[in-house]
Amino acid sequence: MTTATSAASAGARREGPGRTERPRRPAGPAPTTMAQAINRALRDAMAEDDTVHVLGEDVGALGGVFRVTDGLTAEFGEDRCTDTPLAEAGILGTATGMAMYGLRPVVEMQFDAFAYPAFEQLVSHVARMRNRTRGALPMPLTIRIPYGGGIGGVEHHSDSSEAYYMATPGLHVVTPATVADAYGMLRRAIASDDPVVFLEPKRLYWSKETLDLSEPPRTEPFGRAAVRRAGTSATLITYGPSLPVCLEAAEAAREEGWELEVLDLRTLVPFDDETVCAAVRRTGRAVVVHEATGFAGPGAEIAARITERCFHHLQAPVLRVTGFDIPYPPPMLEKHHLPGVDRILDAVARLQWESQYTEGGTP
Amino acid sequence: MTTATSAASAGARREGPGRTERPRRPAGPAPTTMAQAINRALRDAMAEDDTVHVLGEDVGALGGVFRVTDGLTAEFGEDRCTDTPLAEAGILGTATGMAMYGLRPVVEMQFDAFAYPAFEQLVSHVARMRNRTRGALPMPLTIRIPYGGGIGGVEHHSDSSEAYYMATPGLHVVTPATVADAYGMLRRAIASDDPVVFLEPKRLYWSKETLDLSEPPRTEPFGRAAVRRAGTSATLITYGPSLPVCLEAAEAAREEGWELEVLDLRTLVPFDDETVCAAVRRTGRAVVVHEATGFAGPGAEIAARITERCFHHLQAPVLRVTGFDIPYPPPMLEKHHLPGVDRILDAVARLQWESQYTEGGTP
Amino acid sequence: MTVLEQTPGRDDSGARPTPTAAWRPRTDPAALLPDETPFRLLGTSARLDKERKELWRELYRRLVHGRRYNQQATALTKQGRLAVYPSSTGQEACEVAAALALSEQDWLFPSYRDTLAAVARGLDPVQALTLLRGDWHTGYDPRETRVAPLSTPLATQLPHAVGLAHAARLRGDDVVALAMVGDGGTSEGDFHEALNFAAVWKAPVVFLVQNNGFAISVPLAKQTAAPSIAHKAVGYGMPGRLVDGNDAPAVHQVLAEAVERARSGGGPTLVEALTYRVEAHTNADDATRYRSDDEVAPWREHDPVRVLERELRQRRLLTDAEAEEAAADAERMAARLRDRMNAEPLLDPRDLFAHVYAEPTTQLREQDAMLRAELAAEDEPGEPGAAGHDHQHDQQHEREHQHEHQHQDQERAA
Amino acid sequence: MTVLEQTPGRDDSGARPTPTAAWRPRTDPAALLPDETPFRLLGTSARLDKERKELWRELYRRLVHGRRYNQQATALTKQGRLAVYPSSTGQEACEVAAALALSEQDWLFPSYRDTLAAVARGLDPVQALTLLRGDWHTGYDPRETRVAPLSTPLATQLPHAVGLAHAARLRGDDVVALAMVGDGGTSEGDFHEALNFAAVWKAPVVFLVQNNGFAISVPLAKQTAAPSIAHKAVGYGMPGRLVDGNDAPAVHQVLAEAVERARSGGGPTLVEALTYRVEAHTNADDATRYRSDDEVAPWREHDPVRVLERELRQRRLLTDAEAEEAAADAERMAARLRDRMNAEPLLDPRDLFAHVYAEPTTQLREQDAMLRAELAAEDEPGEPGAAGHDHQHDQQHEREHQHEHQHQDQERAA
Ligand SMILES: Cc1ncc(C[n+]2csc(CCOP(=O)(O)OP(=O)(O)O)c2C)c(N)n1
Ligand SMILES: Cc1ncc(C[n+]2csc(CCOP(=O)(O)OP(=O)(O)O)c2C)c(N)n1
Ligand SMILES: [Mg+2]
Ligand SMILES: [Mg+2]
């Protein structure tokens, strides 16, 4: 092979067994944004496993429009982190072929709504490849999608599309709400032999935590929710971009005399029935909070399955605080659409507290 | 314009105002299949309104793979019923442009899974066009999609994809379960100024009813569920292909001493909260039945909103009998996947009948 | 166009008909291929009649206007008056020529970068910028203005243009649609499907690809290996034309010919205009990450306004006074635009629900009522609890604003 | 391939560099255009060396085998042993040549119509037919056989082929991917995106379009207005080749050259094979609705098996005995296939859950347990209530079966 392209490939290709030299890490704890943590997770995964390839629009020299892939092409070469032609079905379709050959592609969709052109490849192939071949063709593919609103983006840049992916068997659907999880869950996603839709809350990209990435945080397997705040009055169930809002609401609720528990689902598929049900059985009241539209949204499944499993522990129906059932609004109106502290507290207030006293207190 | 194509168009084009000559109808009642009723609805709509255009793959000479568009090209010409190139995004995208110009396109997607390539056009444009232009560009577009399983189809020919459409604000999502509704609801869909996803249950295409189409059945506006069977013990809530299964289950349930009410939702968006809640309040127990996969499926929304609205009337949680959370199985295994009479009766049996006696009977 | 099923031909030996002999090219590919060098008028010895002279002078005035518009819009992003602006600086010849090539009744299908084309067509700039200002998705009535909504999802507007043009033709109306897309957008499946439908239907459409060398950071060489984008036309059976996109008279002529061809039933044309995105992708982009100033420099030389001005002066078609008047006129437009954009737009939150459906569903009515109640409660300062919540609310907004300011290099649009 | 940003050229006057002069065609389009007439070997005076002679004889035996396979599979649909069969009768030359053009380590990406290509590659026919039999989606191990799953969603397999070939090249492996698609499939966006990625990446892929004149009922003239499908290649910067798809040696040669080109780093090729779908789309289709027998007749003459046999006999490369032996061999294959397909496949309902994820989720484990309980209850005839339910169950199935039989003209697959 004598073409320019393949010469470049050869340069970046592993010469033999062994590991690519590891990027130097800052020793010890340091303030890290979620975008940086994701970048680090990609770098570490690429360094440890030379079958990990990053593909997408502008992921190379630019480092992605959110700078999440910053430096990867410089470090690993264009064949490992590749600026593709501008075609999402093509990106996911070729990544599927790469996964069929045994690579672990990590695909970036530039924004939520720009993943829709790849919908057929996702639903008809990626999600089903393992199943249709009885396990012969696993799909160790990660699809990173920046999602959600709150950043003042114009049309088509703020969709919360998780319901589509949740309704597609064969996919894992996960979304970090903390910087540590962003790192740990992405590492897990890339290591998974199944396709993972990895939803990155855009408006948390610049949230900061102090992390020690020289000792990468260990994460549990997918399917474990985390209690982010203890509380006894009621449980707020949320994920991704709405976690900080729920924590804030829980603080505010103390003024009203409520101690709210806050649960971060972390993975929507698989779903952690155990942790969720245990929490709801403890408090007897629950509110699901997310940005996505409510009708047939993620909260529908969450509320339905809680009710199926914890019916007699519920003092009130599980309520939902979600985006309205409308196309995502223009930036100047988005504040009215997004679930905020007020709406969460209003919902908590509607959890039939009177009946508690007449019918006999929380368990 | 002197090309062959445009000559053909000119021939089929309306010469002046007035109506295309009406096809002769059989006078009086006659046995009619659902496929025939849909065909008749298309013909009648095209005859009454020359802005109605049918587009799709094989809708012309072949009359569609299910023969639903049989005879339309012969009667109205190729410009009114058009065999398009094979590209679903192109079909829906050009239909969108036609609707922008004021036509009423009726698009056929050949099978459920083959609507996925058009997903971006549907979600990012069709569903939002009216909203993004503050009403200046309505989308009087009907998207017919044969859906569901039970016909022995190979991979990708049996998906129940309604959850995707329900989760997309701006679309109406409707699905007939009876022959009369197939006619009446399609007429309404075509007359609607909003985009309607019209889901046709494949396995009911050959179900028959005796209809008098010389007096076309009047239908109510979208958003009205129908009680298909009266009953007092519990309510089965269903739609489309699962209606006959539910009716059969209700018959079988009499042996066990249950009188089941059966509700046909007919339109999933908008949702008929009033009828559904009234029914559930009457019986105090409900089971939602559909073919689509359960997790984040249509039943999740239905169960969640019933619980929100009728919590204190419920003697048991709303249960769901649905397809498993798996890619649609191969034909020889589909019987194990589809909700059948047994599974419905099992669910009814789990509606906590004992508690009825200890906590105080059905209302 | 002969089609295989009608004309079984003869095989090599001439002895007996075989079907494959019928499969000759169904149209002559030679006629569809673009010329090897882009079409140009500036710098050539083209003779100008009176009408042409007036056209070139008109193009000049509009280019000056367009350039000033681009500068003003960019300035408005710095003042926070626009959420984002994808500038067409350096591409004004394409934008202006596209608008001028169309008649009143024709339709324009712009992308996010083409607000200038809309403005050159006569749209109120404030309305054209509504999307990018962030107060609503589309600021004008597409039917009234015959300008489709600015399309953000790439290439998705192309099938719309085909469908609309096809519909108009079926109705016997004289309407041509001109659809604009970037070089990057040609990689999308929708580009392919739209061109194919257009050619099969002989729809009166013109596709204008502004090849400005980049899709955000990705250069053309990573986008396609084709000899040129115009060469894609032959694969659909339509002619491809290549034009110097910074030569306004040339772009205008090529587009006018393509529009005329479409209007007279000749079917669609693919036009590739070779130009360059002189600014970053948007104000939020940082172009230094992927290209050097050296690369941009020659394009600043081959600037569409400059090259036209130079030529007009050489040909003695432009006086100093006229140039000054054009500049002054542009300045007035800019000042007006600035003033109007400085006024806070009037927003009604209930618009959220007003246009989702022709008639709002029960569900939306409930949600509308909820929002109304919330807004009413906020307006009543005495309402117990509301103050506390408002406080939280404000804090939250403040935090979000900080995020935005800290991270201006984020990509917020298109 | 020169790219614009590196070579600002000179303008017409030669006086000063301008960027547009740099935009010359980046590859020579002439080299990419297909010949005007399809490439053929049969009926020409092509000289055959020993190896070629053996190849032609081998092709013949495989065509005979392939034809018999098609007939047998169609017969199996009538006996209800296959859910559906999209026959490649009349297209055997393409199917067989595709298989033979590949080396052991190469990958084949077939569509639903290409089980014969898979079988010609050495796949067990029962495994190849698993999808169409309805017992599982894919009946073989794609990695072991290097045959990708049969693709039903049109053109979606093309980007897979590109990705796999690209991956292999990045890993330094000598692997070519050959992807098959129909004329109708070329209208899909995925076709466009796949070819574009392949050309930009110089991936070792060969795209074989079997232009059999129809996409179900839709003739080519409604599918594209292009001079030929092979002409689409130039728009991606890859060569397009046109070949008589019923001339097995010609198809083989064109594909072998394309495979060799891909293998040696020359990048992708688009091959259009002109053939004809002699049978209906599938056994469930009724072709009389959209074409006449007159149209089919010449193609029955230009049959790939016949024309090769005639030529071999003319060239004295085939004896009666050899022809009979080939037929007998095919007959044995058919009998074996029939017998094996008559055996009921062994199905385990719990397979429904086994391969959805590497590890089933808690949710799937619960559902699996539920199904197991149901199946156990069905097996226990004494279980109260179960009998009644089973009865219902049976009734329901019977009704469904009636539907299927009443409506055999329904389209059940592909
Ligand atoms: C379907 C889709 N994918 C991705 C994007 C994000 N995006 C916006 S502009 C852009 C680059 C477009 O390049 P080009 O088509 O050349 O147009 P230009 O911006 O140069 O005018 C990208 C990738 C989008 N808007 N739509
Ligand atoms: C995405 C998609 N749309 C529609 C179909 C339904 N369908 C199956 S085969 C077919 C025609 C295909 O024609 P062509 O590509 O020419 O292949 P051929 O059947 O002639 O081999 C259609 C429309 C499909 N399988 N996939
Ligand atoms: Mg560009
Ligand atoms: Mg075909």
Domain boundaries, chain C: 37-342, 349-413
Q: Report the pLDDT value the prediction gives residue C380, as an integer from 0 to 100.
A: 75
Beta strand spans in D143-187 (E): 177-182
Strands D218-219 and D214-215, by their bridges, are: antiparallel
Mutate to test the interface with C, among A55, A62, A289, A343 (most CBs of C within 10 A): A62
Tokens linked to A22: 């590891």
Ligand 1 and A110: CB distance under 6 A = yes
A177-186, B12-21, C144-153: range with lowest mean pLDDT: B12-21
Residue A208's DSSP bridge partners are A33
- Distance of alpha carbon A63 from alpha carbon A91, whole angstroms: 17
What are the pLDDT digits (tens) for C262-294? 999 999 999 999 999 999 999 999 999 999 999
Is residue D180 exposed (0-12), middle (13-18) or buried (19+ Cβ within 10 Å)? Answer: buried
The structural architecture, per CATH, of the domain A33-211 is 3-Layer(aba) Sandwich (3.40)
Residue with tokens 């399309």: C151
Ligand 2 and D256: CB distance under 6 A = no
- Distance of alpha carbon A81 from alpha carbon D374, whole angstroms: 50
Please answer yes or no on whether D135 and B341 come within 8 Å at the CB atom. no
- Distance of alpha carbon A348 from alpha carbon A262, whole angstroms: 13
- Distance of alpha carbon B146 from alpha carbon B144, whole angstroms: 7
- Distance of alpha carbon C231 from alpha carbon C221, whole angstroms: 15
Other Cβ atoms closer than 10 A to D400: 17
CA distance A132 to chain D (A): 5
Query: Could you tell me the residue ranges of all domains in chain A?
Result: 33-211, 226-358
Would you say residue B7 has pLDDT above 60?
no
Cα–Cα–Cα angle for D90, D92, D96, rounded to 5 degrees: 170
Contact C109, C157 (CB under 8 A): yes
3-state SS, residue B272: coil
Contact D168, D140 (CB under 8 A): no
Which numbered ligand comes closest to the C-alpha of D190? 2
Distances (CA, A) of C94 to B301, C63, C180: 49, 10, 10
Contact A138, A103 (CB under 8 A): no
ipTM of the complex: 0.93
Backbone angles phi, psi at A143, to 5 degrees: -115, 105
Give the DSSP per-residue string, C295-361: HHHHHHHT-HHHHHHHHHHHTT---HHHHHHHHHHHHHHHHHHHHHHHSPPP--TTHHHHTSSSS--
Would you say residue B27 has pLDDT above 90?
no
Cα D190 to ligand 4 centre (Å) = 16
3-state SS, residue B190: helix
- From first CA to last CA, the distance across chain A in angstroms is 71
Chain C residues within 8 A of A340 when measuring between CB atoms:
392-393, 396
Contact A281, A313 (CB under 8 A): yes
Q: Report the pLDDT value the prediction gives residue A304, as an integer from 0 to 100.
A: 98
Ligand 2 and D182: CB distance under 6 A = yes
| D-contacting residues in A 92-111 (Cβ below 8 Å) | 92-103, 105
Binned at pLDDT 50, 70 and 90, residue B14 comes out as very low
Of residues B303, B287, B285, B268, the one with CA closest to residue B339: B287
Distances (CA, A) of A213 to A44, A102, A220, B12, D207: 10, 28, 17, 70, 46
Q: What percent of chain B has pLDDT over 90?
A: 86
Q: Report the pLDDT value the prediction gives residue A25, as an integer from 0 to 100.
A: 55
Our answer to whether residue C69 is catalytic in this structure is no
Ligand 1 and C184: CB distance under 6 A = yes
Ligand 2 and D113: CB distance under 6 A = yes
Tokens linked to D130: 């698993």
The residue type at D158: L
What are the pLDDT digits (tens) for C40-53? 999 999 999 999 99
Interchain CB contact of B125 with C (< 8 Å)? yes
Q: Report the pLDDT value the prediction gives residue D17, as an integer from 0 to 100.
A: 37
Cα A7 to ligand 1 centre (Å) = 29
- Distance of alpha carbon C61 from alpha carbon C55, whole angstroms: 10
Tokens linked to C300: 């600043």
- Closest residue in C to D8 (Cα–Cα): C298
The structural architecture, per CATH, of the domain B226-358 is 3-Layer(aba) Sandwich (3.40)
Order across the sheet with B81-83: list the strands: B81-83, B52-56, B104-108, B142-147, B196-201, B172-174, B267-269
Mutate to test the interface with A, among D351, D357, D365 (most CBs of A within 10 A): D357
- Closest residue in A to D160 (Cα–Cα): A97
Pocket test for ligand 2, best of B110, B119, B202 (most atoms within 8 A of CB): B110
Contact A82, A59 (CB under 8 A): yes
- Active-site positions of A read 157
Contact A205, A286 (CB under 8 A): no
Residue A145's DSSP bridge partners are A199
- Active-site positions of B read 157
Would you say residue B243 has pLDDT above 90?
yes
The kind and range of the H/E element at D10 are strand D9-10
Q: Which of C263, C290, C310, C412 is catalytic?
A: C290
DSSP assignment letter at B87: -
Q: What mean pLDDT value characterizes chain C?
A: 88
Q: Which residues of chain D have pLDDT under 50?
A: 1-17, 21-22, 383-414
Of residues C356, C355, C393, C358, the one with CA closest to residue C374: C393
pLDDT tens-digit profile, chain A (363 residues): 232 333 333 333 333 333 344 445 556 889 999 999 999 999 999 999 999 999 999 999 999 999 999 999 999 999 999 999 999 999 999 999 999 999 999 999 999 999 999 999 999 999 999 999 999 999 999 999 999 999 999 999 999 999 999 999 999 999 999 999 999 999 999 999 999 999 999 999 999 999 988 877 666 799 999 999 999 999 999 999 999 999 999 999 999 999 999 999 999 999 999 999 999 999 999 999 999 999 999 999 999 999 999 999 999 999 999 999 999 999 999 999 999 999 999 999 999 887 544 333 333
State the angle between helix axes of A88-100 and D189-201 in degrees (0 to 180), rounded to the nearest 10.
Answer: 70
Q: Which residues are within 5 Å of ligand 3 (an ion), measured at CB?
A: C 182-183, 212, 214-215
- Distance of alpha carbon B56 from alpha carbon B69, whole angstroms: 10
Binned at pLDDT 50, 70 and 90, residue C23 comes out as low
CA distance A215 to chain B (A): 36
Q: Which residues are within 5 Å of ligand 4 (an ion), measured at CB?
A: D 182-183, 212, 214-215
- Distance of alpha carbon D404 from alpha carbon D400, whole angstroms: 6
Q: Whose CA is nearest to atom 17 of ligand 2?
A: D182
Binned at pLDDT 50, 70 and 90, residue B12 comes out as very low
| D-contacting residues in C 211-270 (Cβ below 8 Å) | 211, 213, 219-228, 231-238, 242, 244-247, 267
Other Cβ atoms closer than 10 A to C318: 20
What are the pLDDT digits (tens) for B123-144? 999 999 999 999 999 999 999 9
Same fold, A33-211 and A226-358: yes
Q: Which residues contact D107 (CB under 8 A, 6 or more apart)?
A: D146, D147, D148, D161, D164, D165, D175, D176, D177, D178
Number of H helices, E strands in chain B: 14, 14
- Looking at the CA of residue C215, tell me the nearest atom of ligand 1: 13
- Distance of alpha carbon B244 from alpha carbon B250, whole angstroms: 10
Q: Report the pLDDT value the prediction gives residue D381, as an integer from 0 to 100.
A: 64
Q: Which residues contact D266 (CB under 8 A, 6 or more apart)?
A: D202
CA distance D278 to chain A (A): 30
Q: How far, rounded to the nearest angstrom, does the alpha carbon of residue B117 sit from its chain's CA centroid?
A: 20
A70-74, B133-137, C4-8, C129-133: range with lowest mean pLDDT: C4-8
Interchain CB contact of A124 with D (< 8 Å)? yes
Q: Whose CA is nearest to atom 18 of ligand 1?
A: C182
Ligand 2 and D219: CB distance under 6 A = no
Would you say residue C395 has pLDDT above 70?
no
- Looking at the CA of residue C153, tell me the nearest atom of ligand 1: 26
CA distance B17 to chain C (A): 12
Which numbered ligand comes closest to the C-alpha of C281? 1
- Looking at the CA of residue D88, tell me the nearest atom of ligand 2: 21
- Distance of alpha carbon C255 from alpha carbon C39, whole angstroms: 11
Contact A88, A109 (CB under 8 A): yes
CA distance C220 to chain B (A): 25
Distances (CA, A) of B39 to B64, B186, C345: 10, 10, 49
State the angle between helix axes of D50-78 and D304-314 in degrees (0 to 180), rounded to the nearest 10.
Answer: 150
D345-351 long-range Cβ contacts below 8 angstroms, 24+ apart: D345/B332, D345/D133, D345/D135, D347/B332, D347/B333, D347/D135, D349/B333, D349/B336, D349/D375, D351/A134, D351/B333, D351/D136
Residue A320's DSSP bridge partners are A288
Chain B residues within 8 A of D388 when measuring between CB atoms:
252, 255
Better pLDDT: C14 or B354: B354
Would you say residue C372 has pLDDT above 80?
yes
CATH T-level assignment (fold) for domain D37-342: Rossmann fold (3.40.50)
Mutate to test the interface with D, among A131, A174, A192 (most CBs of D within 10 A): A131
Our answer to whether residue C261 is catalytic in this structure is no
Binned at pLDDT 50, 70 and 90, residue C20 comes out as low
3-state SS, residue D347: coil
Chain B residues within 8 A of C144 when measuring between CB atoms:
136
3-state SS, residue B172: strand
> Taking residues B222-238, what's their average pLDDT?
97
Which numbered ligand comes closest to the C-alpha of C211? 3
Please answer yes or no on whether D159 and A97 come within 8 Å at the CB atom. yes
Q: Whose CA is nearest to atom 26 of ligand 1?
A: C153
Would you say residue C10 has pLDDT above 60?
no
Please answer yes or no on whether A124 and B131 come within 8 Å at the CB atom. no
